[in-house]
Amino acid sequence: MREIIFRCSSIGKLMTEPVTVDPELVTDEIAEIQAKKKRTDEEKAILADAKARTLSEGAKTYIRGLVAQEIFGVDFEVSSRAMEKGIRCEGESIALLNRVRGLSLVKNTERKTAHGLTGECDLFNSQALGGHDLKTSWSIGTFPIVVADCVDSIYEWQMRGYIRLWNAERWYVDYALVNTPDDLIGYEPITMHFVDHIPEHHRLTSWVVERDLAKEAAMDIKIAAARTYYAQVLEEFDRTHQLGAAVVANAAKTSRHATPKPQPQPAAPLQAVALPELF
């Protein structure tokens, strides 16, 4: 089996906090600690380590979906008008960022893979040792006007993946508000989508994620656990979806005990028959 590599955009799904320690990791020592009402700092550390190596149920569900995609060769990613706008208006959003921030960044086309991660970031500023991930807002109604509305745990871990791959110090999540293509608007008020009249510096909100080596170490632990679980799910599917030996044996048994069909008998040889003389 190939070694599974996780996209930076999916790391946040692996990092969700589990409710309890994975039963497979519960040793006698851990069970004894769990039964206590008061725990020492050392015991708390032991539990924390076991929990760090535990995947949440949500993470397991996500991994099972990845296995299904590999088995059936189908990408489960769905499209939407908001995603379509992000793709089609990316150039406008980059231009807006450059004008407002006084930058001259160009679209990155390099994909990096390391540490069980793979990613292709939007923009990287080598001079500042930092990158930018552009989020083109769907409309005025979805555009975050303060940093508090930007913060998102899935995006945070995605940025931490880019930071790791590009060995950066920080990564910015930039929300840009630009006009929506006419054919995507649908029945929504056009005033929510035509925004050129708004000052450009009012149409860009940025949130920065600073590098944290401890969180990168936590990522390594979760990725290792996710790879193990991925292999287990794939093995279970292979084991439970074979044309099993029992089925084959049953078919052979049925064949042996079936009442033999009567075989057609060869036709008797034709006998010469004397016909009466007519003339």
pTM of the full structure? 0.83
- Which H or E element spans position 175? strand 170-176
**pLDDT over 70 (residue 247):** no
Which residues of the chain form CATH 3.90.320.10?
A: 81-213
Out of 153-167, 198-212, 231-245, 254-268, which region has the weakest mean confidence (pLDDT)?
A: 254-268
**Integer Cα distance of 185 and 139 in angstroms:** 9
What pLDDT sits at residue 184? 95
**Could you tell me how far CA 144 lies from the centroid of its own chain?**
25
Conformational region of residue 185, where left means phi above 0, alpha means psi within -120 to 50, and beta covers everything else? alpha
108-143 pLDDT, tens digit each: 999 999 999 999 999 999 988 899 999 999 999 999
| Average pLDDT score over the chain | 89
Residues 117, 5 contacting (CB under 8 angstroms): yes
Residues 90, 134 contacting (CB under 8 angstroms): yes
81-213, CATH topology level: Lambda Exonuclease; Chain A (3.90.320)
**Integer Cα distance of 272 and 262 in angstroms:** 29
- Which H or E element spans position 204? strand 204-210
52-105 pLDDT, tens digit each: 999 999 999 999 999 999 999 988 877 899 999 999 999 999 999 999 999 999
More confident residue, 243 or 81: 81
Q: For residue 239, how many C-alpha atoms fall within 13 Å in the half-sphere facing its CB? A: 6
Residue by residue, DSSP assigns 105-162 as: -------EEETTEEE--SEEETTTTEEEEEEE-SSGGG--SSGGGT--HHHHHHHHHH
User: Could you give the angle at the alpha carbon of 186 between the alpha carbons of 182 and 187, nearest 5°?
Assistant: 125
What pLDDT sits at residue 143? 98
Residues 142, 80 contacting (CB under 8 angstroms): no
How many other CB atoms are there within 10 angstroms of residue 123's CB atom? 20
